[in-house]
Amino acid sequence: MAGKDYYSILGVNRGASEREIKQAYRRLARKYHPDVNPGDKSAEARFKQINEAYEVLSDKEKRQKYNQFGDQWQYADQFAQAGRQQTPLWNFSQAGGAQRFHFEGDDLGSLFSDLFGSGTGSRRSRPRRGQNVDHPVEVTLEEAYHGTNRTIALRSEQPCSSCQGTGRIQNVPCSVCRGAGVVSAVKRLEVKIPPGVKDRSRVRIAGKGQPGYAGGASGDLYLVVSVKPHRQFERRGDDLYEEVAVPLTIAVLGGEVQVPTLKGKLALKIPVETQNGRAFRLKGQGMPHLGNSSYGDLLAKINVLLPTKLSEEEKKLFERLGKLRSDS
């Protein structure tokens, strides 16, 4: 029976780089996420497959084991240990060739009992850590500045209590989980987005991923943050950039203008004869640095506004100014 092809699930080739795998995962996760496809069971199933594939292929050690043993990669250590014994066993988990391992008679039965259950239909499950889960979260720049909370719905798989995660009861498939050994559950979780998150930040929520098996620890939840573009500010790292409109008279004679920030408006003193395009740095008025109390800066670029709809008197004044400038 053909195993799961994690590369095909993510739509990448076997030689794909870590970056290509991550890009493919993010694209597919956003497309098939349950929150984007409410009530769509096929999208939900695809989302689980995508998470499972990424969990393995994004981990260098797991990926190496998967490339060698296919979807039986979890048992790579047992296979390697058993391979040093005597009785031959052929493993066809990889397409295109078989691999031989050796076992002694008693060890052979013990290995299959450990991996796939004993002849009585019971399985001695070993503790296994649950999978990590990525969950996309979109925030505004204001939310990234102040920090925010989100309530997210997570669908998880938990060991079936009726069969204790084995999938069988007295050698008969469990009627509750239909032989899968796990049951699906939806839980709502209140999560905190810390101040200073950037686009593509990964916020770790420890122990909130998929539950472990047979007493194993739960995986972690990673919030994959997307920050929406802002109409006023451009973000570069933790610095913010904006354009500030300044009337011609203030640019020439000096004065004061109001500069918008994410905390409110600040007064900016404009020196005499300020040129168009000049930038003023407002220290500490940018984005907070993630994980500490310092802030980036705000750079306000001056955009001098030329007057329109001049009165006759104003035109005469500009004509006089032009004559004075040409005579000097």
The answer to the question of residue 287 being in a domain is: yes
Q: How confident is the model at residue 103, as a pLDDT?
A: 42
CATH number, domain with residue 243:
2.60.260.20
Helix, strand, coil % in the chain, rounded to nearest 5 = 30, 30, 40
Given 161, 194, 227, which residue is the final one in a domain? 227
Q: Tell me, yes or no, whether 181 and 245 share the same domain.
A: no
Q: Tell me, yes or no, whether 102 and 23 share the same domain.
A: yes
Band the pLDDT of 177: cuts 50, 70, 90.
Answer: confident
- pLDDT at 34 > cutoff 70: yes
Which residue matches tokens 């122990």?
Answer: 207
Query: Span 172-194, mean pLDDT?
Result: 79
The predicted-structure confidence for 302-326, as pLDDT tens digits, reads as follows 999 999 999 999 999 999 998 988 8
The answer to the question of residue 128 being in a domain is: no
Query: Span 45-51, mean pLDDT?
Result: 89
The predicted-structure confidence for 51-88, as pLDDT tens digits, reads as follows 889 889 998 888 988 888 787 777 766 666 555 544 44
In whole numbers, what is the pLDDT of the chain averaged over residues? 82
Band the pLDDT of 36: cuts 50, 70, 90.
Answer: confident
The answer to the question of residue 183 being in a domain is: yes
In contact, 82 and 164? CB cutoff 8 Å? no
Q: Tell me, yes or no, whether 203 and 287 share the same domain.
A: no
Given 84, 116, 148, which residue is the final one in a domain? 116
Band the pLDDT of 231: cuts 50, 70, 90.
Answer: very high
Q: How confident is the model at residue 81, as a pLDDT?
A: 59
The burial of 307, by beta-carbon neighbours within 10 Å (0-12 exposed, 13-18 middle, 19 or more buried), is given as: exposed
Q: How confident is the model at residue 157, as a pLDDT?
A: 66
- pLDDT at 29 > cutoff 80: yes
Angstrom distance (rounded) from CA 301 to CA 234: 12
- pLDDT at 113 > cutoff 60: no
- pLDDT at 213 > cutoff 90: no
- pLDDT at 16 > cutoff 50: yes
Tell me the backbone φ, ψ of residue 157, rounded to 5 degrees: -110, 125
The larger pLDDT score, comparing residue 91 to residue 275, is at 275
Q: Tell me, yes or no, whether 268 and 201 share the same domain.
A: no
Q: How confident is the model at residue 69, as a pLDDT?
A: 79
As for how many domains the chain has, the answer is 3
The answer to the question of residue 64 being in a domain is: yes
Query: Three-class SS of residue 264?
Result: strand
Query: Three-class SS of residue 67?
Result: helix
Query: Span 223-230, mean pLDDT?
Result: 94
Given 199, 227, 255, which residue is the final one in a domain? 227
Q: List the domain range (segments joined by +) for residue 240.
A: 234-327
Q: Tell me, yes or no, whether 100 and 27 share the same domain.
A: yes
The answer to the question of residue 121 being in a domain is: no
Q: Tell me, yes or no, whether 95 and 168 share the same domain.
A: no
Query: Span 22-28, mean pLDDT?
Result: 90
The burial of 318, by beta-carbon neighbours within 10 Å (0-12 exposed, 13-18 middle, 19 or more buried), is given as: exposed
